[in-house]
Amino acid sequence: MRPPRHRVARRAVVWWSTRILSGTALAAGAPALAALAVPALGTPPEVLTTALWWAAAALGGAGLATAAVVPQWRFRVHRWEVTDTAVYTASGWLWQEWRVAPMSRVQTVDTQRGPLQRLFRLADVVVTTASAAGPISIKGIDGDRARSVAAELTEAAHNTEGDAT
What's the pLDDT at 38? 85
26 and 94, same domain (yes or no): no
> Total structural domains in the chain?
2
Domain that holds residue 132: 79-159
164 is a domain residue: no
Among candidate residues 25, 45, 75, the one where a domain is terminated: 75
Identify the CATH number of the domain in which residue 150 sits.
2.30.29.210
85 and 69, same domain (yes or no): no
Q: Is 69 helix (H, G, I), strand (E, B) or coil?
A: helix
165 is a domain residue: no
1 is a domain residue: no
Supply the pTM of this predicted model: 0.85
What's the pLDDT at 40? 79
Among candidate residues 75, 106, 132, the one where a domain is terminated: 75
* pLDDT tens digits along 32-86: 999 998 887 777 788 899 999 999 999 999 999 999 999 999 999 999 999 888 9
- Count of beta carbons in the 10 Å neighbourhood of residue 115: 6
31 and 57, same domain (yes or no): yes
Q: Do residues 59 and 24 lie in contact, with contact meaning Cβ atoms separated by under 8 Å? A: yes
Please report, to the nearest 10 degrees, the dihedral formed by the alpha carbons of residues 74, 126, 22, 7 taken in order.
Answer: 30
* pLDDT tens digits along 87-139: 999 998 788 899 999 998 899 999 999 999 999 999 999 999 988 888 999 99
145 is a domain residue: yes
Residues 103, 120: Cα–Cα separation, whole Å: 30
88 and 24, same domain (yes or no): no
Among candidate residues 75, 94, 128, the one where a domain is terminated: 75
Tell me the residue type at 156. A
Report the run of H or E that residue 154 belongs to, with start and end: helix 143-159
107 and 89, same domain (yes or no): yes
